[in-house]
Structure 1
């Protein structure tokens, strides 16, 4: 009976811990929605009254028609999935390699500075300049876009993880050493947990870099993907399709950022909530 009451008490506390959206946040969200609706209505009115050149600026109704056409033909879904796959694969490869290498440099402080300097040099190279080389090396398929996205995220992840390993609380580090803890245990119990907030913050930033890398690759040489569709539509002065591609890419980045934030809240549960 006591165990059952204890379990029930834990359940009650968890239910109480769930916070409903406050009135202020709901009002703020409602105002944002109203502003967006008002902006779209004004944009469409300006296009209908020819206050704006619809051929040069597009219109909400034209964007809707482009989306409907893309959905009925199936190209919009397939292009979105292709770009999403390239972005996720490149983000995973670049972030994992960069983060892993940056954290492992904690074991090699003698070469840490040289490796960090190399990553800073790599990060300073405009990734669009590497696009033609990557296309030549890996072809015009999805592989070249994945590697371009990976290169775009690798250096940022490595720089951040190296800094995270270096900025560990010295008092905690000395405490571990005073108990004669092995370096592998210090890494598992102190370095890695302390670096997790840095890793997730960098991962959110790298979502944008991975998207840029995959879209730039699709711009240079591809037969499918949102970048390819935007490039072709821009060449044909189809601004409605261009706007549609920009909107989908923005929604994609927002959704991925939200997913990463949810994962962070589950893994880094001890991090203070803002």
Structure 2
């Protein structure tokens, strides 16, 4: 199959920077992955990497196929994805809304700032026992952990984004007689959107951390539980399968965020 030619972009000083085509980038990515797996397999085969410490790609593939056929991998991945996505949606939406709203109340933002900083610096896993007591060991506790972690990140990022909006635009709106609420709607919210989308990307990982930590602490299903239980049994191939599945969920969530970003820019 013929590969699309590389694109070139003008550069200052007369140089032209070659931009590889998407198909070429995808080919390089696949080649890099295969090379890393081949080196890993060779290292185990040659005795450089103890298989009981690192597993091996052929064993990971075999274990993954076994878990796919049994339906366990799909069940656990779907549960963890639902927990992460639910927590992400709740925490990010509420946090972004709260962060933007604080622009309307500068005194309140100043009062709350030290509490926001303290909550952001607190290791959220310390809250897990309380959340388990409040929400039980079911689905709700995992969603709550993910929501709390993503809420504070979205809150601080949205508030900072609102503060970074061009002050000249705000002054212009005031000179035209616009109310503070109207300035917020027409200037602050659109101007802070790049910051909010950035928080979306950060919160993908944080939401998955919340879901997996909750499954570590109190669960009998999900990718976090699968990884934890496989680690206890020293089944490193199953551990790698769980990690790969988590990476797949993260990539899918990033893909959705990319679509949202394109819609916002359209």
Name the structure 1 match of 2:42.
Answer: 45
Once the two structures are overlaid, the 10-residue window that deviates more, 74-83 or 30-39, is 30-39
Listed as ranges, the matches of 1:43-82 within 5 Å are 43-82=40-79
Name the structure 2 match of 1:207.
Answer: 204
User: Which of 146, 149, 154 in structure 1 is aligned with 2:146?
Assistant: 149
Listed as ranges, the matches of 1:41-190 within 5 Å are 41-190=38-187
How much does 1:251 deviate? 2.0
The 3-state SS of whatever aligns with 1:224 is coil
CA contact (8 A) 1:152 1:209 kept: yes
Match status 1:242 vs 2:213? no
**Number of equivalent positions:** 251
CA contact (8 A) 1:83 1:215 kept: yes
User: Which of 24, 27, 34 in structure 1 is aligned with 2:20?
Assistant: 24
Write the distance in 2 (CA, Å) between the matches of 1:28 and 1:108.
Answer: 47
Write the distance in 2 (CA, Å) between the matches of 1:115 and 1:164.
Answer: 17
TM value normalised by structure 1 = 0.87
Q: Which runs of 5+ in 2 are unaligned?
A: 8-18
CA contact (8 A) 2:5 2:20 kept: no
1:216-271: CA deviations, max 9, x gaps?
Answer: 000001011000000000000000010111111112112211220221111133xx
Q: Which runs of 5+ in 1 are unaligned?
A: 1-18, 270-274
CA contact (8 A) 1:94 1:149 kept: yes
Runs of 4+ in structure 1 over 6 Å off: none
TM value normalised by structure 2 = 0.89
1:140-173: CA deviations, max 9, x gaps?
Answer: 1110000000111111111111111112211111
